[in-house]
Amino acid sequence: MWTGGTMAFVLVGVGTAGYLILKHLEGNISSTDVGDAAKNGFSKDEAFNILIIGTDKRTGKGNEGYGDKGSVGHADTNILLHVSKDRTNATALSIPRDLIVNVPDCPTKQPDGTTKVLSGTPNVRFNTSLGQDGRDPGCTMRTVKEVTGIAPDHFMMADFNAVKTLTTAVGGVEVCLKHAVDDKDSHLKLSAGSHKIEGEQALAFVRTRHSFGNQGDLDRIKVQQQFLSSLMRKMSSGDTLTNPAKLYDLADAATKALTVDKGIDKVSTLKDIALELKKVPPKNITFLTVPVLDNPADGAVHKTVIVDPNKAPQVFDTIRGDVSFTEVKKKQQAAKDAESARLEGSQSAASDVRVRIFNGGAPPGSAQQTLSWLQNQESVTKSENVGNAPQNLDKTTLEYAPDQADQARKLAALMGLPGSALKPGKSVTNSQGLPAMTLTLGKDFKGAGVSLTAPTKAPDVPKSTADKVQCAS
């Protein structure tokens, strides 16, 4: 994704040869219809979430030698990549394969075009959200939303061959080891220090877990994050971007290696995604892992983990709120400060707040639910439900006239609205012929009384950034 778009962008302007190559790349792409689990298409103007899945399916040349050759292909490596709306930063959140989750019911497309609902399963490993009982990547996307509250917009899935072909296409990836490794299970044998690896050796590196840390999956995740950081640096280097032959090899390998959802299975769409990703500086690409605890149900032998109920929600809220885990440009911070400033100042009494409530994409019944909550629990008696908005909105908004600012601040405080939700404008007339504000409940609405205010600062959790060179330990 990081460089394939550059290849496609260059080819657009080089006539017939470029057209033929683009058609070739188009023919390489494999896709899976996951229904409404994925969005239809890609928007350049919004933040977006892509679920990157590394499956342990042993198909392909040489992969049967890695054991478990009959694997249906579980979700063995999982990264939820969030790219900010302003493209100043991105967050790559690793989800452990051994995380205990509730896999929800999953509508799955069948070969004959029908849809079969696969029953959910409580208290199972995250990796069983794919492959098990015929589950497709859409099931994994739904499981991510169940766990984090963050809905992936799209997925990209890679198998063992993807690691081998992509690392070869870029001419190898630099990795660093603090100590020598000789792992009989993954077949990785490297001395301490720096190495350039590709192909089978690269696959062995990302599969190794008995040689790092406590020999578990959590430490292997750290090594995989270090590997991906190095791969990103190599892909975005001048050596790759200015070499047409290397670009073609990379684009060809990527389109052959990845399976995506139907919403992004066009080279032109992948180009758009890639060009948006290229705007994010490596120093602002943060790698972190879902905060977890040892599963107490395992007893003394800790084989699985559970979500840390104290730390994980802060991480999920930060990503949902499009808040950076790194320092971003002062201009963007100033804009956020200006939004926060809208909430500062005097507030009217709840009984003086006049507001008309529209449903603009929230679940059915949300406007009436909010009206009942405001009137019965918050004493906002001068409120009314006026039905569906003319159009749906991604974000909840509150439009108010200048002389209604104190009312807007009061309603924002009651509902937990962020400063970005407040839209200075004009008042409207309510059913009594009096001026009122307009509250439109968007797709982000979580329920009456549930705050929509995102964190203004990311929590302090273990993390790394893509620009830093780290040695696997």
pLDDT in tens, 281-304: 888 999 999 999 999 998 767 689
Amino acid at 196: K
247 pLDDT band, cuts 50/70/90, is: confident
Burial of 360 (0-12, 13-18, 19+ CB in 10 A): buried
Confidence label for 70 from pLDDT (cuts 50, 70 and 90):
low
Alpha helices by DSSP H, 307-404:
312-320, 330-341, 366-377
In whole angstroms, give the CA distance from residue 295 to residue 408. 45
Torsion sign, CA atoms 30, 33, 38, 39: positive
pLDDT over 70 percentage in the chain: 88
| Cα(205)–Cα(319) distance, integer angstroms | 29
333-352: per-residue pLDDT in tens? 555 555 566 778 899 999 99
CB 304, CB 98: distance < 8 Å: yes
Pairing of the two strands 422-424 and 397-400: parallel
pLDDT at 273: 87
**468: nearest Cα among 222, 238, 182, 121:** 222
pLDDT greater at residue 266 or residue 8: 266
Q: Where are the domains of the chain?
A: 4-328, 345-441
Asked if residue 11 has pLDDT above 70, the reply is no
Measuring CA to CA, how many Å separate 264 from each of 34, 35, 83, 274, 342? 12, 13, 16, 12, 38
Give the pLDDT band of residue 13 (cuts 50, 70, 90): very low
What pLDDT sits at residue 436?
96
Among 2-16, 74-88, 320-334, the least confident range: 2-16
Report the C-alpha gap between 452 and 414 in whole angstroms. Answer: 11
Asked if 227 contacts 123 with a C-beta cutoff of 8 angstroms, the reply is no
- Residue 355 structure tokens: 């507001």
What predicted TM-score, i.e. pTM, was given to this entire model?
Answer: 0.79
Strands 397-400 and 435-441, by their bridges, are antiparallel
Model confidence over 204-243: pLDDT tens digits?
Answer: 999 888 888 777 889 889 999 999 888 888 877 767 666 7
- What is the band of 312 on the pLDDT scale with cuts at 50, 70, 90? very high
Per the CB < 8 A criterion, the answer to whether 156 and 326 are in contact is no
Terminal-to-terminal C-alpha distance of the chain: 28
- State the Cα–Cα distance between residues 246 and 425, nearest whole angstrom: 52
| Paired tokens of 314 | 């802060």
4-328: CATH number = 3.40.630.190
Neighbours of 174 (CB within 10 A): 14
139 in Cβ contact with 149 (< 8 Å): no
Q: Does domain 345-441 have CATH number 3.30.70?
A: yes
Residue 140 near residue 53 (C-beta atoms within 8 A): yes
CA dihedral 217, 95, 198, 163 (to 10 degrees): 120
Strand runs (DSSP E) across 200-329, as ranges?
258-261, 285-289, 292-294, 305-307
Residue whose structure tokens are 């299975």: 265
Residue 377 contacts residue 314 (beta carbons within 8 Å):
no
Distance between CA 130 and CA 365 in Å, rounded?
33
Residues in CB range of 12: below 8 A, 6 or more apart: 18, 22
User: Dihedral sign, CA of 410, 316, 232, 29?
Assistant: negative
Q: In terms of Cα–Cα distance, which of 40, 52, 35 is closest to 106?
A: 35
Work out the pLDDT band at 4, boundaries 50, 70, 90.
Answer: very low
Element (DSSP H or E) covering residue 343: none
- Compute CA distances 83 → 25, 152, 181, whole Å: 25, 11, 35
pLDDT given for residue 246 in this prediction: 76
Q: Are strands 173-177 and 181-183 parallel, antiparallel or unpaired?
A: unpaired
| Residue found by looking up tokens 């439900």 in the block | 385
